[in-house]
Amino acid sequence: MNLLQNKVALVTGGSRGIGEAIALRFAAAGAHVAFTYLSSAERAASVEAALQALGVKAKAYRSDAGDYGQAEQLINDVLADFGQLDIVVNNAGITRDTLMLRMTEQQWDEVMDTNLKSVFNLTKHALRPMMKNRGGSIINMSSIVGITGNAGQANYAASKAGIIGFSKSIAKEMGSRNIRCNVIAPGFIETDMTHVLDEKTKEAYLQNIPLKRLGKAEEVADVCVFLGADMSNYVSGQVISVCGGLNT
């Protein structure tokens, strides 16, 4: 099903993990895909080739999502290369996990810049072309810990909770312009981000997940396809957990 035929999507952090899966699912659904990376140039080049092999236009951009100027340049470049912008997925994110007593200002700032300021940066510059286009879908990647909190992740949870308040506000502000803004809150998804966790932590999570398994990046990507497609045209300002029932 070509649910995203003729749409242009921008995915931040598309070189690995959930972002890569979103880019691939979008292309398979017929979208032309621009995506960003920060340091994985080789991975980004192979994702770009895989997308193009699906018969769509695709391009990787090196762009730090946490940098306001780079975000502005990125949107201008994507518009110059693709001509329009229909979907933005703010997916880039990092963790700097540690207990509050040990957390440094740098660990706080890095997470807030990459995870939260990035969402402001990209949304700010994407709104104008979306308004010109008379519509758009913004999808912001939060986390269930942004809803529940998590010991050892005060910085990360705060950034992910911030995304939810931001997104609901944008949905209210921009609804009259036919611009939708929704949030996905993944649970425990198998990617590089979660590979670093020790077995004991993973086991503890598994016990509490009703579906009794970790999630796949593609399962998050499928919800992105829904939110990017016209079949979700009356869905805005919502937080959709993709967590195997963990946040229930």
Catalytic residues: 156
Out of 129, 136, 162, 186, the only residue in the binding site for ligand NAP (CB under 6 A) is: 186
Look at residues 86, 59, 63, 170 and name the one whose alpha carbon lies nearest to residue 123.
170
Q: Considering the rule CB under 6 A, would residue 19 count as an interface residue with ligand NAP?
A: yes
Out of 189, 221, 223, 246, the only residue in the binding site for ligand NAP (CB under 6 A) is: 189
Smaller CB distance to ligand NAP: residue 166 or 230? 166
Six-digit token string for 52: 């193009």
Q: Considering the rule CB under 6 A, would residue 93 count as an interface residue with ligand NAP?
A: yes
DSSP three-state, residue 85: coil
From 31-39, 77-85, 120-128, 203-211, span contacting ligand NAP (CB under 6 A): 31-39
d(CA 117, CA 108) in angstroms, rounded, equals 12
Give me the residues paired with residue 240 across strands: 184
- Neighbouring CB atoms inside 10 A of 100's CB total 11
Smaller CB distance to ligand NAP: residue 69 or 134? 69
- Under a CB-based contact definition with an 8 Å cutoff, are residues 154 and 104 in contact? no
Q: How far is the CB of 54 from ligand NAP (least distance, A)?
A: 19
Q: How far is the CB of 12 from ligand NAP (least distance, A)?
A: 5
Vertex 97 angle, CA 93 and 99, to 5° = 145
Residues 36-65 that bind ligand NAP (CB under 6 A): 36-40, 43, 64-65
Q: How many angstroms from the chain centroid is the CA of residue 57?
A: 20
Residue with tokens 């979700």: 232
Residue with tokens 């880019």: 23
DSSP three-state, residue 128: helix
d(CA 89, CA 197) in angstroms, rounded, equals 26
Q: How far is the CB of 10 from ligand NAP (least distance, A)?
A: 12
Q: Considering the rule CB under 6 A, would residue 193 count as an interface residue with ligand NAP?
A: yes
From 53-61, 74-82, 119-127, 191-199, span contacting ligand NAP (CB under 6 A): 191-199
Residue with tokens 């995304």: 163
DSSP three-state, residue 136: strand
Q: Considering the rule CB under 6 A, would residue 17 count as an interface residue with ligand NAP?
A: yes
The number of residues that bind ligand NAP (CB under 6 A) is: 30
Q: How far is the CB of 141 from ligand NAP (least distance, A)?
A: 4
DSSP state of 130: H
- Give the β-pairing of 136-141 and 179-186: parallel
Out of 3, 82, 114, 244, the only residue in the binding site for ligand NAP (CB under 6 A) is: 114
Out of 94, 119, 130, 239, the only residue in the binding site for ligand NAP (CB under 6 A) is: 94
Binding site for ligand NAP (CB under 6 A): 12-13, 15-19, 36-40, 43, 64-66, 91-94, 114, 141, 143, 186, 188-189, 191-194
